[in-house]
Amino acid sequence: MDAKTGRVSVAPIVGDDEQFEGREYLGMYPYLDLTMDKFYVHKRSNEWVNLDGWMRGENPKVFKY
C-alpha cells in the first residue's frame, strides 16, 4: 500500500502500561492511537491528526506542548 498510495499507518497492539516506539521498519510509518475514545494518527508524540482527517488526506501536524 505504501508504494501505491504513500498513505500507510500502523495499528500497534500494546498493553495499557506499554508504549509503541516503533519496531524496526515499522517506526518509519505513522501509527494509530486511541486517546480518550478517539483515534489519532501520530507521526511522533507531538505530531498527529485525527483519524477522520487522515482519511480525508490530511497529514499529522506538529503541536507544541
Tell me if 49 sits within 8 A of 60, measured CB to CB: yes
Cα 8 from Cα 29, distance rounded (Å): 7
Tell me if 14 sits within 8 A of 22, measured CB to CB: no
Coil, strand, or helix at residue 15?
Answer: coil
Q: Average pLDDT for residues 18-37, to the nearest whole number?
A: 74
Query: Any idea where the domains of the chain sit in the sequence?
Result: 2-62
**pLDDT the model gives residue 52:** 93
Q: Would you say residue 7 has pLDDT above 70?
A: yes
Residue labelled with grid coordinates 509503541 = 20
